[in-house]
Amino acid sequence: MSFSNRDFMLLDQRLFKAFMAAAQTQSFTHAATRAHMTQSGVSQHIAKLEEQIGVTLFKRIGKKVVLTDAGNALMQYVRQQMHSTQQFMDRVHAMETRVAGLVSYAMPPSCLMSPHFPMLLERRRAHPDIELNITLTSTQEVVRMLLENQVDFGFVTENNNHPLLRYRLFCQEEYVLVSSDPLPLQELTDSSILEQRFIWYPGSSYYYDRWLKHVFPERCNLNTYSLTFAGEINSINGAIDMVAGGLGMAVIPSHCVASLLEQERLYRHQASQPLLNDIHIITIKDHEYPRRVEQVIDWFFDMVADK
């Protein structure tokens, strides 16, 4: 195939930054913030792209700007170009001893409070060219982000055996019911539990359902919807503060409240058997990952082996 230098200039890749920011935020105003540009700069870059391609890339629906079919095609093209560029960089870096580049992963917020995260940061000190991009979200969102190629890997609290994913057991965490008052926890029954008040936070429904089934297995109809909630908050840290402040009870991973239990600012219900849940690291099956991603995943498994 023969081509001229002009073929490389058909699309000005410097304009892709504004385009992708607008595609992701559906707003030129928000795109300007994400791309560190002015709103007029974003508009000008997109107008230049539309001029170069000869089609409209966005259409306005209400207060949002959404991609046209041509815009969607360009977004896929840009992602392919970014992937190809990253593959090239990976090959170049593989020729050297250093490991470099961006590693992105997602996990439930409780994982950030585990001892593994500080250990990861310590390991990363020896590899300053690795950049970490971490998203805290629910298990369901972790799976979605991985399948949509928004992250390299993820941590999940549930193994749903998705056919496209590889699940590797990482560790276990214990779920405990905690309260600032020890008295209601001492003789908790399937009836008295309905008289208590609880705190809801993102992901807590899974914890409540697991705990209720574990402690009261004979009450198969007892679940999160059976409980009375005194409040809700959008973070596990805030939920812990609300429980410590006496607003209600909550089921929390034990490592998140270990210090408060030791200080007796919180008390836990003593179940006959601990409720342990598997935490998995998930990746795309049969996908060849860059060396930097495999390196970070190996760090996590090394942490477990060293314990």
- Please tell me the predicted confidence (pLDDT) of residue 3: 36
Q: What number of residues does the chain have?
A: 307
- Nearest alpha carbon to residue 158 among 146, 142, 180: 142
- Please tell me the predicted confidence (pLDDT) of residue 112: 86
User: Looking at residue 249, what DSSP letter applies?
Assistant: B
- Please tell me the predicted confidence (pLDDT) of residue 8: 45
The series of mean pLDDT values per 10 residues for the chain, 307 residues long, is 47 88 92 90 93 92 92 91 81 64 93 87 85 92 94 94 95 96 92 96 93 93 95 94 97 95 96 94 94 91 74
Distance of CA 166 to the CA centre of its chain: 17
- Please tell me the predicted confidence (pLDDT) of residue 123: 85
Q: Could you report the per-residue pLDDT of 80-103, keeping only the tens digit for each?
A: 888 888 888 777 666 555 678 899
Coil, strand, or helix at residue 286? Answer: coil
- Nearest alpha carbon to residue 82 among 153, 142, 150: 150
Q: Give me 158's structure tokens.
A: 């549930």
- Amino acid at position 119, single letter: M
128-140: string of b/e by CB count within 10 Å (b at 16+)?
Answer: eebeeeeebbbbe
User: Looking at residue 98, what DSSP letter applies?
Assistant: -
- Please tell me the predicted confidence (pLDDT) of residue 1: 36
Q: Could you report the per-residue pLDDT of 202-215, keeping only the tens digit for each?
A: 889 999 999 999 99
- The pTM of this model reads 0.65
Q: Which residues pair with 174 in a beta bridge?
A: 276
Cα separation, 19 vs 9, in Å, equals: 17
- Amino acid at position 153, single letter: F
- Nearest alpha carbon to residue 269 among 147, 187, 212, 200: 187
